[in-house]
Structure 1
Amino acid sequence: MSIFERFLTLWVALCILVGIGLGHLMPGAFETIGAAEIARVNLPVAILIWLMVIPMLLRIDFTSLSQVGRHWRGIGVTLFVNWAVKPFSMALLGWLFIGWLFRPLLPADQIDSYIAGLIILAAAPCTAMVFVWSNLTKGEPLFTLSQVALNDAIMVVAFAPIVGLLLGLSAMTVPWDTLLISVGLYIVVPVIIAQLARRRLLQNGGEAALARTLRRLAPISLVALLATLVLLFGFQGEQIIAQPLIIALLAVPILIQVYFNAGLAYLLNRATGEAHCVAGPSALIGASNFFELAVAAAISLFGFHSGAALATVVGVLIEVPVMLSVVWIVNRSKNWYERGDAVRSAAKVLVHD
């Protein structure tokens, strides 16, 4: 992990301050940026999101899907947590904390929007940073690659229906046209562009050319993320200044959701006898979020000023320190994990074969 990535939380915090300050000093400029949209898609943000997402999707090799069966237990656990547990558990946590326990402390007109942002955040499994977390746990790289590729393929068809279903259950009107445009604009099109670029790089210069390109593009991706955050907080600044407690309250269900899903994936892998080098990245994939997509979708669906956009940004704010703590737990518990009966039995069978 680069120094820039390691201190992502610090840069996000600085962007919050810069965004709030600029929004207070130059409200007219931010209103002009906010008005630059077509079909409810903000053009400046769309450009920034593409700069964020496409370099990350360049890492994904969809041919690795042919290797999915090699770690079928870990794949099954991660898919179960990502698609059958995480969005629905976040909807429940959002309703419990934001819709009930914290309701008196939050702006009444933004309650549903905050819950929507949390749902959008949870419905998009992480794509890029997972490779960093997996490496820190000495995870099986083939499993990580095939799992991320599979999640991305599923996300193309499942993201919109799951978000639409859960927003409907949260009694919000679902703007299906905007949601489908967001999926096409921020998932389908970037995947196609990234895969065409990846193929061309590999054909012309092999893995070395791809690696060089990824190193060059990595800072661009993070800078685009930070620029997006400046815009977001430029619009959200007045509300945050008036009620700074909002960020802390929104962080509570996100933190609970991360640790719950990471723990669930880790324990299920142990119960099924999966190796630790697979269980580690499985837990991390099960817990982390594709926050770039979540931020873009929230802005498209509800706008810069919305509580939904702010809720997804809180996910960005706490992503690095929380995931590093999960990495620490996974690494420190390796001996305990490998003492599990199912894990030891699977290891004996593997040695025997």
Structure 2
Amino acid sequence: MSTFERYLTLWVALCIVAGVALGHLMPGVFHAIGAAEVAKVNLPVAALIWLMIVPMLVKIDFAALGEVKEHWRGIGITLFVNWAVKPFSMAALGWLFIGDLFRPYLPADQIDSYIAGLIILAAAPCTAMVFVWSNLTRGEPHFTLSQVALNDTIMVFAFAPIVGLLLGLSAITVPWDTLVLSVALYIVVPVIAAQFLRRRLLAMGGEPALKRFLDRLQPLSLLALLATLVLLFGFQGVQILAQPLVIALLAVPILIQVYFNSGLAYLLNRLTGEQHCVAGPSALIGASNFFELAVAAAISLFGFQSGAALATVVGVLIEVPVMLSVVWIVNRSKGWYEAGHTAARVADETGR
């Protein structure tokens, strides 16, 4: 790990401060950048996410995707946490904290809207940023790609029914243009571009050329992560300073939900004997959110100025810092994880 990566948490903290300050001092600039969007997908942020995930996708050898079937435990656990636990646990936490414990400190007319936003946020598993988190935990890239693709497929059919059930609405307006564009931008096109680039590099210089390219691109990928953080906090800099208490209270159930679901996925993988390189991304996929879709759905259902929209934006703001903390926990606990009897036995059987 390079010195830059070792102090990534510090850079993240500085970027959060810089983003909030710049958003407050130069709101016009950030409004202009924020307006550069198609179907609620911000194009500058999309370009930065490309810089983050393409290096991870270049590492993937599609010929080895068949090996993912060995990790059926991790796939099953991640699907269980994403679709059978996460939306419902967030709904319970929203009703407990926002609907009850924090009710006296929040605008009474926005309580239900806040809870709705939290539910929408939890019903959409992350698509793009997961590749970054998986890479930071030395996760199995083929598992990560396969799991994200499977989640995207399920999301097309399950997002609206789950949100409708938990919100008690008879009809949910799914922003299909946002969903389709996001999947295309963050999965389909980057995968095709990365595989084309991988084949060109291997044809020109073999594995050494590929390694040199990835070594050069890795710092750029992390810089793109930090730049994304500055933009996200800059977009909401004025709102953060105007409503700090509301944002802090909304962050509480989101934080608990992230740690609960990532911990549940991590422990279930350990109990079933899945390898650590799969358990890490499984925990991260199980906890993170597809914030572009969530924000777009909240705005389309409740309006731009609604509590639901604000709740999903809070999810955006804490996504990077909290997921980096989960990455840190996963990496630091690897020894404990692999000391488990089941995990050790399976590792011996697979020779890994």
Q: Which TM-score applies when normalising by structure 1?
A: 0.77
RMSD: 3.6
Paired residue for 2:47? 47
Shift of residue 184, structure 1, vs aligned partner:
1.7
Paired residue for 2:284? 288
1:196 aligns with 2:196: yes
Shift of residue 82, structure 1, vs aligned partner:
4.5
Q: Output the CA distance in 2 between the equivalents of 1:9 and 1:27.
A: 26
Paired residue for 1:318? 322
Shift of residue 158, structure 1, vs aligned partner:
2.8
Paired residue for 1:12? 12
Q: Output the CA distance in 2 between the equivalents of 1:232 and 1:74.
A: 31
1:63-74, aligned counterparts within 5 Å?
63-74=63-74
Paired residue for 1:33? 33
Taking structure 1 as reference, are residues 47 and 71 closer, same or farther at Cα in structure 2, changes over 3 Å only?
closer
Shift of residue 314, structure 1, vs aligned partner:
0.3
> What code does the residue aligned with 2:205 have?
G
Q: Which TM-score applies when normalising by structure 2?
A: 0.77
1:327 aligns with 2:331: yes
Instruction: Give unpaired runs (5+ residues) of structure 1.
Output: 135-140
Q: Output the CA distance in 2 between the equivalents of 1:149 and 1:324.
A: 21
Q: Output the CA distance in 2 between the equivalents of 1:121 and 1:250.
A: 19
Q: SS where residue 216 of structure 1 aligns?
A: helix
> What code does the residue aligned with 1:241 have?
L
Q: SS where residue 60 of structure 1 aligns?
A: coil
Shift of residue 254, structure 1, vs aligned partner:
4.0
Paired residue for 1:147? 143
- Deviations for 1:47-73, whole angstroms, at most 9, x for unmatched residues? 223222322322333322211233444
> In percent, how many aligned pairs have the same letter?
53
Q: SS where residue 236 of structure 2 aligns?
A: helix
- Deviations for 1:108-153, whole angstroms, at most 9, x for unmatched residues? 286133443344355778223324324xxxxxx7xx2331232133
Most deviating of 98-107 and 62-71 = 98-107
Q: Output the CA distance in 2 between the equivalents of 1:152 and 1:253.
A: 24
Taking structure 1 as reference, are residues 149 and 49 closer, same or farther at Cα in structure 2, changes over 3 Å only?
closer
> What code does the residue aligned with 2:141 have?
L
Conservation of the 8 A alpha-carbon contact between 2:137 and 2:330: no
Paired residue for 2:177? 177
Instruction: Give unpaired runs (5+ residues) of structure 2.
Output: none
Taking structure 1 as reference, are residues 194 and 325 closer, same or farther at Cα in structure 2, changes over 3 Å only?
same
Conservation of the 8 A alpha-carbon contact between 1:58 and 1:197: yes
> What code does the residue aligned with 1:285 have?
P
Q: Output the CA distance in 1 between the equivalents of 2:46 and 2:288.
A: 11
Most deviating of 215-224 and 68-77 = 68-77
Conservation of the 8 A alpha-carbon contact between 2:51 and 2:221: yes
Q: Output the CA distance in 1 between the equivalents of 2:36 and 2:204.
A: 38
Count matched residues. Answer: 334
Conservation of the 8 A alpha-carbon contact between 2:136 and 2:327: no
Q: Output the CA distance in 2 between the equivalents of 1:175 and 1:228.
A: 23
Paired residue for 2:187? 187
> What code does the residue aligned with 2:16 have?
I
1:157 aligns with 2:161: no
